[in-house]
Amino acid sequence: MIDIKFLRENPEIVKENIRKKFQDEKLPLVDQVIELDAENRRVKQEADTLRADKNALSKQIGALMAQGKKETDEAKKAEIAAGVEAKKAEVAANSKRLAELEAMEPELQAKVTEIMMKIPNIIDESVPIGRDDKENVEIEKFGEPVVPDFEVPYHADIMNSICGLDKDAAGRTSGEGFYYLMGDAARIHSAMISYARDFMIDKGFTYCVPPFMIRSDVVKGVMSFAEMEAMMYKIEGEDLYLIGTSEHSMISKFKGEMVKEESLPITMTSYSPCFRKEVGSHGMEERGVYRVHQFEKQEMVVLCKPEESMDWYNKMWSYTVEFFRSLDVPVRTLECCSGDLADLKVKSCDVEAWSPRQQKYFEVGSCSTMGDAQARRLGIRTKGENGTYYVHTLNNTVLATPRGLIAFLENNVNADGSINIPKALRPYMGGKEKIVPLKK
């Protein structure tokens, strides 16, 4: 959510930003919110004037009543009494109007907030302009995207070769989009998560296990309405949602707080299971685990000063690149174009892993800076030399798996079906250097 003062003073900039995101249907919202905001401020000003008048009249009534008590002339006394009654009538009229205005204030403010939450955040000037993800721009490749001289099996087949995947049983217990990981597949999955945790701790991030459910006011503070409907599972009969990413509960840890400026930047890394409806996806895979309703994730979040946010943005995505390269997985970074950015995002890039089977890259992580949009919604502020301001918030995926597991398996499987365990992962795999298939 952008600053209403900025929108009020720069409506054309806000409209141009909407056009850059190819959301022309939202252009009328700018004029609507300006009109509502003007009415809201007029109501507040009138209410403030009436409150001041009421206080002044109350003092005048008190003074007149004190004067009347001292007055001995009956005519003068009657005149003063009449004046008191007139001012009391004026106070009553003001109180009635004030009650009307006080009822209008929250309604108008709610309407302003509702519209402001639909207007997209101002994107960074470096963001490429494009309509959708087809127009995202490759930034850089890391590692050689090798195509081996043997046919790389489908990831589900690699898992099945080590008795590591059971989707049939998960279909019976939970339905499509769920899975059982077994044996060494489950062990690699957990090893990757543990390694990701320690990798980020070594970068100086504080480890955290957050709540896996959040309230609706928190959901509205961290994401757009469209995202919420497409992603979140609601707990029936409760004001609770299952998290789609731990970023949401991590950032919201500071909801309504005045953070000490000297504590910035706040850097945290979190583990959580994640749950997503995947509405609008191309369907769940029948055999594989690329797109699923449940997965696990190691996330990183940063709260920082505005002038530091771009430096942190570049550090954060580079950590994900470094993590995957330590597992012998080639990756590339892809700059998200304007039309592919969620409304709260200022700038975002994806980290994509190389798939030797498909001979193309696929997304394994995403890094975003939100500017002060989330902090503004959640009321996360700090105070510096120049006064109070909203902090900037950033988030980035270290590892989301089983998708990360797919990248690992495809890039470390050998022609004989064995799977290499990179040096970085061996301490979490009991020292194993290789996993051998259990069945053909």
Residues 411 and 384 in one domain: yes
Residue 182's pLDDT is 96
Between CA 288 and CA 69 the distance in angstroms is: 91
Any domain includes 86: yes
Range of the domain at 8: 4-116
Any domain includes 85: yes
Any domain includes 124: no
User: What's the one-letter identity of residue 223?
Assistant: M
Residue 279's pLDDT is 54
Residue 439's pLDDT is 58
Looking at per-residue pLDDT, the higher value among 421 and 278 belongs to 421
Tally the C-alpha atoms within 13 A of residue 272's C-alpha that lie toward its C-beta.
24
The count of structural domains within the chain is 2
Between CA 388 and CA 100 the distance in angstroms is: 32
Residues 258 and 288 in one domain: yes
Residues 68 and 103 in one domain: yes
Which band of pLDDT confidence, cut at 50, 70 and 90, is reported for residue 187? Answer: very high
Any domain includes 327: yes
CA distances from 67 to 59, 82, 87, 90, 256 (A): 12, 13, 15, 19, 50
Residue 127's pLDDT is 97
Residues 234 and 334 in one domain: yes
Residue 362's pLDDT is 95
pLDDT value at 55 more than 60: yes
Residues 112 and 165 in one domain: no
Which band of pLDDT confidence, cut at 50, 70 and 90, is reported for residue 40? Answer: very high
Residues 183 and 69 in one domain: no
Cis amide linkage into residue 210, ω under 30° from 0: no
Residues 408 and 329 in one domain: yes
- CATH number of the structural domain spanning residue 60: 1.10.287.40
Any domain includes 301: yes
CA distances from 301 to 368, 393, 406 (A): 10, 7, 24
Task: Provide CB contacts within 8 A for 200, sequence distance 6+.
Answer: 207, 269, 298, 300, 319, 398
* Domain closes at, from 62, 91, 116: 116
Average pLDDT of the segment spanning 279-304: 81
Any domain includes 127: no
Residue 284's pLDDT is 52
The lowest-confidence range among 17-21, 25-29, 105-109 is: 105-109
What is the percent of the chain with per-residue pLDDT over 70, rounded to a whole number?
Answer: 97
Residue 70's pLDDT is 74
Residue 285's pLDDT is 57
Residues 61 and 190 in one domain: no
Strand-strand pairing, 258-259 and 381-384: parallel
Average pLDDT of the segment spanning 76-88: 78
Neighbour-count burial of 246, counting CB atoms closer than 10 A to its CB (0-12 exposed, 13-18 middle, 19+ buried):
buried
Any domain includes 126: no
pLDDT value at 170 more than 80: yes
pLDDT tens for each residue of 206-224: 999 999 999 988 988 888 7
* Domain closes at, from 116, 149, 176: 116
Residues 110 and 144 in one domain: no
pLDDT value at 350 more than 90: yes
Neighbour-count burial of 5, counting CB atoms closer than 10 A to its CB (0-12 exposed, 13-18 middle, 19+ buried):
exposed
Residues 106 and 249 in one domain: no
Any domain includes 122: no
* Domain closes at, from 116, 148, 177: 116
pLDDT tens for each residue of 389-421: 999 999 999 999 999 999 999 999 999 999 999
Task: With beta carbons less than 8 A apart as the criterion, state whether 213 and 241 touch.
Answer: yes
Average pLDDT of the segment spanning 244-253: 93
Fill in the DSSP letter of residue 153.
P
First to last CA, the chain: 54
Dihedral pair phi/psi, residue 234, rounded to 5°: -90, 135
Tokens of 113: 């907030």
pLDDT value at 287 more than 60: yes
Task: Provide CB contacts within 8 A for 378, sequence distance 6+.
Answer: 218, 221, 222, 251, 252, 254, 255, 256
pLDDT value at 227 more than 80: no
Average pLDDT of the segment spanning 431-437: 95
Residue 59's pLDDT is 80
Residues 45 and 140 in one domain: no
pLDDT tens for each residue of 129-165: 999 999 999 999 999 999 999 999 999 999 999 999 9
Residue 431's pLDDT is 96
Tokens of 307: 């002038």
- CATH number of the structural domain spanning residue 200: 3.30.930.10
Task: With beta carbons less than 8 A apart as the criterion, state whether 398 and 331 touch.
Answer: no
Residues 110 and 142 in one domain: no
Average pLDDT of the segment spanning 328-336: 97
Which band of pLDDT confidence, cut at 50, 70 and 90, is reported for residue 375? Answer: very high
pLDDT value at 280 more than 70: no
Residue 53's pLDDT is 83
Tokens of 81: 């009494």
